[in-house]
Amino acid sequence: MRFADIPVHDSIKDRLRAMADSGKIPHALLLEGPSGTGKLALARAFAQYVHCTDRQNGDSCGKCASCIQHKAFSHIDTHYVFPVSKPEKSSSVSQPVSTDYLQEWRDYLTGRTYMDYERWTDVFRKKNAQPCIYVSESNELLRKLSFSTHASDYKIVIIWLPEKMNVEAANKLLKMVEEPYGDTLFVMASDNPKLILPTIYSRLQRIRVGRLSDAFVAGTLTSMGMDQTDATAIAHLAEGSMTAALHSLETAGDDAARFDLFTRLMRLAYQRKIAELREWGATLSSLGREKEIKFYDYAVRFIRENFVYNFGIPEISYLNSSESQFSRNFARFITEANVEKLVEVFTNARTDIAGNANGKIVNLDVAIKVILLLKQ
């Protein structure tokens, strides 16, 4: 990974270059910020730049032996630490370490700039897997770092998601950070630094990696062939996370289903068709509790977007093409008199469903309240 492979975060790349060029590299560095913004890519590019033997124009050359090894994830003085999961069935490996999944890690990283923890958990083919970094990882790291460097001035440990360390692992890492080997650099990438052991966090030099711009995310999506209107809407909802935007592409079918449920609710409520609304509530309930909750989250957003639509300012409206077409006629029904009341109805329904209330009853109650509110 070269700096040139990362199309954003120029100021951060400049800062990392300056550290390496001056030789004033902190022994423990943390890149922190929202998920899906390229923090691990920056860590990888920095490690390759440090190890490169022929830096050119502020970047690693990509051709020397060190760069070739980094590209293959086989540089002998670079060690990766990342969350892993115990085998589903009992095994002699009670606490796995990163090297047990090194091939899967290489496959996952190849061609990937933005990391996705949820997708990484799929690697383990284990239902409800919650990978973490075990104390066995710290023990293995202590063993590796006891050896001298082989091909460069620094051994570099890249830790993805240090907040996933269990307490025992974090305490052992603390000792390594407090009393580092002179030739060892720790470079960490965290999505949620508040969960890092405070005594470790206080000893790290921190660089904030901000969210991606909506324009950049939308531009990436349009380069993949997406319609500009849809790309803009997805980018806004992704809140600066490329992985969240890509998730939206994968769940487009679910979003379309929620849109259909919403439009059906509004049309039937406007026509006051109670029998059909009862069927609508049963259909929604049959999808299961999680999908009901997500529907009501969607409904809250869509109501608010339709209220904004009435202002006639496209720049602040984030509807995809199908939603926008529906809203041309529907938005006029969402007014100052009912917008917050509708949001409250959907929010309360979400809370009730999450609290194991009967879905059919809750959904029908919502439908009846919508009938009354649409006339306000």
Q: What is the pLDDT of residue 123?
A: 86
- % of the chain at pLDDT higher than 70: 96
**Per-residue pLDDT band at 134 (split at 50, 70, 90):** very high
**Per-residue pLDDT band at 128 (split at 50, 70, 90):** low
Q: What is the dihedral of CA 14, 17, 18, 22, to 10 degrees?
A: -170
Interatomic CA distance for residues 310 and 303, integer angstroms: 11
Residue 118: pLDDT over 90:
no
Give start and end residues of each alpha helix (H) in the chain. 10-22, 39-51, 65-71, 102-109, 117-122, 135-145, 167-178, 198-201, 214-223, 228-238, 242-250, 252-271, 274-286, 289-309, 321-330, 339-354, 359-374
- Reported as a single tens digit per residue, the pLDDT across 161-186 is 999 999 999 999 998 998 888 899 99
- pLDDT mean over 216-243: 90
Residue 95: pLDDT over 90:
no
Q: What is the DSSP string of 222-280?
A: HHTT--HHHHHHHHHHHTT-HHHHHHHHHTHHHHHHHHHHHHHHHHHHHHT-HHHHHHH
Q: What is the pLDDT of residue 89?
A: 60
Measured over the CA atoms of residue 33, residue 35, residue 38 and residue 42, the dihedral's sign is positive
**Per-residue pLDDT band at 114 (split at 50, 70, 90):** very high
Residue 92: pLDDT over 60:
no
**Per-residue pLDDT band at 226 (split at 50, 70, 90):** confident
Residue 105: pLDDT over 80:
yes
Question: pLDDT averaged over the chain?
Answer: 91
Q: What is the pLDDT of residue 180?
A: 82
**Per-residue pLDDT band at 206 (split at 50, 70, 90):** very high
Residue 215: pLDDT over 80:
yes
- pLDDT mean over 202-225: 94
Interatomic CA distance for residues 96 and 102, integer angstroms: 11
- Reported as a single tens digit per residue, the pLDDT across 62-72 is 999 999 999 99
Q: Is 144 helix (H, G, I), strand (E, B) or coil?
A: helix
Residue 127: pLDDT over 70:
no
